[in-house]
Structure 1
């Protein structure tokens, strides 16, 4: 099997996002083309035509029970060793797949490959915010100048102070012990999954270059979850799994204050 058919973009589509077309266009515009599969439990008129326009497969499933179920179903549609869960509101720069697969080739023991990312707010790219700075710092502390880490302690250290791994940029190995996301979580299902993956053999690989743009907007599930307090509750749950109770509560409070500050910008 060549690198060209080792990777799939799976797109869990939820309702009728006005940004889905731009996401699909960015996936179709890759310098190293990969198959695209749209997976949804909330189809809408015109979705089939949109999939055909961009040469994407379409898998409709039910019931609509949450993001974890949607992600797990989307990954099950990939017939390749590697898959990226492409978020429907986000933009993937032209060399995302090419450079991700180059990293896969260079690190045959990799289980997870992530890239650098920026934020897209109202059509403007933000490359540095307080939260982006914190996450980048956590990544640097985890990788210590390296491009990959394999030791369980190092991978867990990367995740002890928060989820520094940018989920929309992650490409996962599916060929052995496929990862399943918890379906009872609404926002921190990625952090939980990476923490479980850290306990398995294999490398986490970080491509520092910015290769995708994560869209920030008020209608996103993340924004809704922060306003509803879901993020803070799930943050506390994760920190309590990693730290003694007083430290866990302190870290969760620091993050909650950061969310409040970001929402006012």
Structure 2
């Protein structure tokens, strides 16, 4: 399967993504079949264990969508497990410094020979889906070509360090999370505050100046339009759980309101 790095390089327009936050393989398949370019499986806030991730990857694999997995933390053990399971595209949250970004890249890479790349990923590919249980010839030597690493900027410190984070070798893209960024700036639950919007725009500019693709989580249409106009290479525009929540509310709201009005006569 093509990596997120390759999808970005070959894109003729900004890529559009959806979240699978429910942990449901059925929901993942519905999202993957929607025409979206990207599917982001949320292992940070979603109720998804490593073993529960596998049927989600199976469900998405049947569709022309690039699947990313957000790990719970910048933890080499979790990253190793998720990669061995066959996830190719990692999203690592709460990366606030260049050192954080380098740690994520090292965790996603196998050790190299003397003078070659640094890596700490444990070599168990013959036992893992990532190499199709040893059926991909030379998987360990060529694993970097099968894996992409995206890091998530979502703190004020990360915005200040955005250029240095983006410049880290092995970081393929940077993703901005306005909600946690708002919290770190003293505006919890208020990502539309102008100071937060300005910080997002500054991070977009810094990452692009460093020569890396940048994306933003934008559930509001106006935010997506603004970020794309500023140069975002990808945006995520909705999640399965929010679509179900808002859609189910809208489905019953009209008739409930009509019933209420009728009862008032």
Both structures adopt the same fold (TM-score exceeding 0.5): no
Provide the TM-score with structure 2 as the length reference.
0.27
Larger relative contact order (CA 8 Å, sep ≥ 6): 1
Provide the TM-score with structure 1 as the length reference.
0.27
Say which structure is richer in helix: 2
